[in-house]
Structure 1
């Protein structure tokens, strides 16, 4: 008798948005607009719905009554980060420079093999990854994750100092060369940071 188990839908839904409860609504709106270009579609005292593309919203922020401050948020289970992807390396690195110039810097930087990623932290302590695909192709990066021995042995990846990437690009190195050197550990920071979210509360 054929199995009646249906492990996944035939037609799969597309991921649409993430929602956060917040005690810092205005700060969160400002942060996501600065870091990832998300603008409010609707904004009130009770919440804001933000988007940076054709969707009606990608992040929702709810200023719910009676919210409590988290305890040891960086070391508890739950959502670690959301991620946004740039189309190419120059856009991604230029965004780092733009944010650095206004005092917004990542707490963690990792070359994962299939992406090169910088991790920021929003005013509530949630992680925000800004990444660029190392292959320029989701099909190729998916194949890398599935088949690569390197990823299987080290899925977290290699730490890098973003200032060293800025310098390497200024010297004329291509993204492929920079990615290769970063994944080989040539751009490691002086201090290796913790991959846990920093505790802000």
Structure 2
């Protein structure tokens, strides 16, 4: 018997924003502005809507009354992280150095093959990925994910120390060379962190 269900819309909506319930509205606004350049379009006592591009908002923050604090958030099902992408390797590593100088460092750093990614935590413990596409082209990176035996075998990828990446750039190595060496394990950190979100509540 034929399956005539329509598995997806013929005209697909584009992803627009993520909304977080928060007990730390002001800290969250400050964090997302500092880490990813999201500025408030509207900022009230109980909510804020933030954007870093032409959209009216990309993240909404709701300070709902009576919220309960999460328990063991890093080891429960649900949202792990949201991601933001830089167009260039230099912008990406410069952002890391800027945040590090302000005491904000990632808890996890991974070269997934199609992206190099640093993972931070916002004041509510949600993950925030700051990435750069290693192909510089979404079609090429999507195609690589589709057919690559390397990605199928290890989609998590290679751990790296971002300070070693920054030092390699200072020595004049290209993004392509740094990415290759990273995949080979040259910039591995002394301690390999868990992929779980760190629990800090």
TM-score, normalising length: structure 2: 0.99
Give the CA deviation at 1:2: 5.8
Give me the whole-angstrom Cα distance separating, in 1, the residues matched to 2:121 and 2:193: 14
SS of corresponding position for 1:156:
coil
Give me the whole-angstrom Cα distance separating, in 2, the residues matched to 1:200 and 1:17: 26
Aligned to 1:112: 112
Give the CA deviation at 1:4: 2.4
Q: Deviations over 1:2-22 (max 9, x none)?
A: 642100000000000000000
Unaligned runs of 5+ in 2: none
Q: Do the aligned residues in 2 keep the contact of 1:124 with 1:200 (CA within 8 Å)?
A: no
SS of corresponding position for 2:74:
helix
Aligned to 2:137: 137
SS of corresponding position for 1:110:
strand
Give me the whole-angstrom Cα distance separating, in 2, the residues matched to 1:33 and 1:166: 23
SS of corresponding position for 2:116:
strand
Over the aligned positions, Cα root-mean-square deviation in angstroms equals 0.8
Correspondence list, 1:185-200, <5 A: 185-200=185-200
TM-score, normalising length: structure 1: 0.99
List structure 1 segments (4+ residues) > 2 angstroms apart after TM superposition: 1-4
Unaligned runs of 5+ in 1: none
Q: How many residues align?
A: 201
Aligned to 1:8: 8
Give me the whole-angstrom Cα distance separating, in 2, the residues matched to 1:48 and 1:182: 38
Correspondence list, 1:52-71, <5 A: 52-71=52-71
Aligned to 1:95: 95
Give me the whole-angstrom Cα distance separating, in 1, the residues matched to 2:184 and 2:144: 16
Aligned to 1:180: 180
Are residue 167 (structure 1) and residue 180 (structure 2) matched? no
Aligned to 2:147: 147
Give me the whole-angstrom Cα distance separating, in 1, the residues matched to 2:169 and 2:159: 18
Are residue 122 (structure 1) and residue 122 (structure 2) matched? yes
Q: Deviations over 1:71-96 (max 9, x none)?
A: 00011000000000000000000000
